[in-house]
Amino acid sequence: MKFKQIQTLEQIATLLNVEFVGDKDFPVKGINEIHVVEEGDIVFVDHPKYYNKALKSAATIVLINKRVECPKGKALLISEDPFRDFNKITKHFNPFIASQKSISESAIIGEGTVIQPNVFIGDNVVIGKGCIIHPNVTIYSNSIIGNNVTIHANTVLGADAFYYKNRPEGFDKLISGGKVVIEDNVDLGASCTIDKGVTGNTTIGKGTKIDNQVHIGHDTMIGKKCLIASQTGIAGCVIIEDEVTIWGQVGTNSGITIGKGAIILGQTGVTKSIEGGKTYFGTPISESREKLKEIAGIKRFLKEQKNK
C-alpha cells in the first residue's frame, strides 16, 4: 500500500508515538508485507525468528519490537507492538469509509458495461468496457476490473484477508488495505469470493476462467489463461503461473507457487510448490502417474494379504 504523499520517518514515528533510528527526514513511501516489500516500504516484524529476514529484505524501514543494529541505508521504528502499529498506519492512510449508495459516485464504469439490479459497487472502483456484472455481486472499494469481464451472481470481490494474531484475549485482525485486480477477459462464476490484499493486490490474470464457488485468498496472484473449477480453495500469498488448470475441490497451502501449465486433478491437496508442465493428484500431492502407481501397489498388496 503506497501513501498518496511520501512521509518522513519522523512523521510516522509521531503518528505511532514510537522511537526511531535513522535520519528524521528518511523517506517513507508505504507499507507492505515481507514477500512484496520494495524500497521505501515499512515492513513489520514481531518475532526474533524473522528479524534477520525483515532486516535484509527490500524494505528500507523496519517496524520492530526490539532495538537492534540498523542496517546501512535503512531506518527502524521501535514499537512495543508492531502488529498493532502496522494496523494503525493502515487505518490512518486508508480508513474505512461507509458507502452512501449502492453504486458509488466515484466509481468509473466503462462504455457498454451492463450492471444488473442489486449490484453493490464501492468507492473508487474502476470497471472497464463491455463487462457484465450480474445481480447481487458485491465489489468493495478500490477494486479494479478490466475490459470484457463477466461476473456472475453473488460473487464478492474485496473482502478482508483471513489474517489474525493470536492474543490471550482473542484473535487480533490484521487490517486489509490492498485491492483486488481483475484483468481483461476474465470470467468469474457464481458465488466466488476473492479477498483483497493485506497491503498489495490480489490479481486474476488476463483470460483466466473461474467456475462457481471458488475462494481465492489475499495477495494471491493468478496468471493468464488459467482454468479453475468449482469449489477450489486457494490460500493467501499463492502464485499460480500462466495456463494452469485446477479441477474441482482442490485446496492449497499458503505461500506456494504452482508452475506454468501444471494440471491439478480434482480433490488434490497442494501442500507444497510444484513444477509446471506436469499433472498432479492426491494428498500429499505427487505426479499423477506416480500416485496411481502407489494406489495400484497398495491394492496388489491388500489383495495378496487377503489371499494368504
Catalytic residues: 218
Give yes or no for a contact between 163 and 145, defined as CB atoms under 8 angstroms apart: no
Query: What residues have CB less than 8 Å from 14, skipping those under 6 apart?
Result: none
Query: Which DSSP state fits 37?
Result: -
The Cα 155–Cα 3 span in angstroms is 29
Count H helices, E strands: the chain? 4, 34
Which three cell numbers, joined as nine digits, stand for 28? 517513507
Query: What residues have CB less than 8 Å from 28, skipping those under 6 apart?
Result: 3, 6, 7, 8, 9, 11, 12, 40, 42, 61
SS3 109: strand
The Cα 288–Cα 279 span in angstroms is 6
The Cα 182–Cα 57 span in angstroms is 28
Give yes or no for a contact between 182 and 6, defined as CB atoms under 8 angstroms apart: no
SS3 195: strand
Phi/psi at 115 (5° precision): -110, 110
